[in-house]
Structure 1
Amino acid sequence: MPSAGRTLLSLVALTTIVGGYIADWNETHVYNPRWPPHAKFHNGQTMSMGAALGLTTFWFLYGPPASKSAPAATQRLSLYTASWVASLYWITQLSALFYPGALAVDPEFGEGAPQVYICAVLLSMIAAGMGLERKKIAEMEKKSA
């Protein structure tokens, strides 16, 4: 069973893989008749990027570099890489709010910026998961010394 830290990071990875499809595969995005084809192209690119980032996070969390037989330095590098990759989608989503004319929600579908709260929760989960895993790696390193 994965540790608490890996579980938190895995939940973020899973959210990154499916979140865009859940949020965008509907009349507000993919099926929005007001969206030009090129906007839909970039929406598809964003959803696919989320899936690729989530899958990459899983690879660095559970793939060969993260194995218990790998040296602690390799495990730490794998953890840092997984955490960075897991955060990229959410950091860039927040940055999108600062582009000229950008709105988090089209006016006909509401107002506000619910993404800010989602990003804050997921980035906090990444920080907590990374901290817990770093501690676990340090403890394993002490035991083997």
Structure 2
Amino acid sequence: MTFSPGRVALSVVALSTATGGFIFDWNHTHVFNERWPPHAKFHDGQTMSTGFLLGLSALYYLFRTCNSPAMKRDSLRTATWLLSLNWIAQLSAALYPGSLPVDPEFGGGFPQAYICAFLFLLIASGFSFEHRRLRFEEKRD
């Protein structure tokens, strides 16, 4: 198992994806917000669970044993796509009617956009580094 810079960057995103919802939502602004109706909490739970499952799935594809160069490349693309889905969904949520990135009682703005931009940069960098490493490995063999 290789811990290359690309895999490390993608693993950081995978761990952020798997745990971020619980870190940022398991508090008075979301899960324990008395003003939120039960159905809103249900969907927040759905979002946290989805992030957890996407992060774990990406880690599986990043570190599974692959027997061919084609399988390694496919695993890298799959992990990258899985990691991107959660953050694309988070950004797109602001486009739905009546939605706000932050409840007015807790401030304003769109702080998630900065988090997403940073994680997309890590995803792109991690993919690029790992893709280059795999190409080099193929040429060497």
Scaled to the shorter chain, the TM-score interval is over 0.9
Q: Map Cα deviations across residues 111-142 of structure 1 (whole Å, 9 max, x no partner).
A: 00000000000011001100000100000110
Q: Which runs of 4+ in 1 moved over 3 A?
A: none
Tell me what 1:27 maps to.
Answer: 28
Would you say 1:121 and 2:122 are equivalent positions?
no
Tell me what 1:138 maps to.
Answer: 135
Would you say 1:88 and 2:77 are equivalent positions?
no
Structure 1 residue 80: deviation in Å? Answer: 0.3
Identical aligned residues as a percent: 55
Would you say 1:74 and 2:75 are equivalent positions?
no
TM-score by length of 2: 0.97
Structure 1 residue 64: deviation in Å? Answer: 2.4
- Give unpaired runs (5+ residues) of structure 2: none
Aligned to 2:14, what secondary structure does the other structure show? Answer: helix
Aligned to 1:64, what secondary structure does the other structure show? Answer: coil
Cα distance in 2, alignment partners of residues 63 and 47 from structure 1: 24
Tell me what 2:64 maps to.
Answer: 63
Q: Map Cα deviations across residues 10-42 of structure 1 (whole Å, 9 max, x no partner).
A: 000000111000110001000001111111111
- Give unpaired runs (5+ residues) of structure 1: none
Tell me what 1:9 maps to.
Answer: 10
**What is the CA RMSD across the aligned residues, in angstroms?**
0.8
TM-score by length of 1: 0.94
Number of paired residues? 140
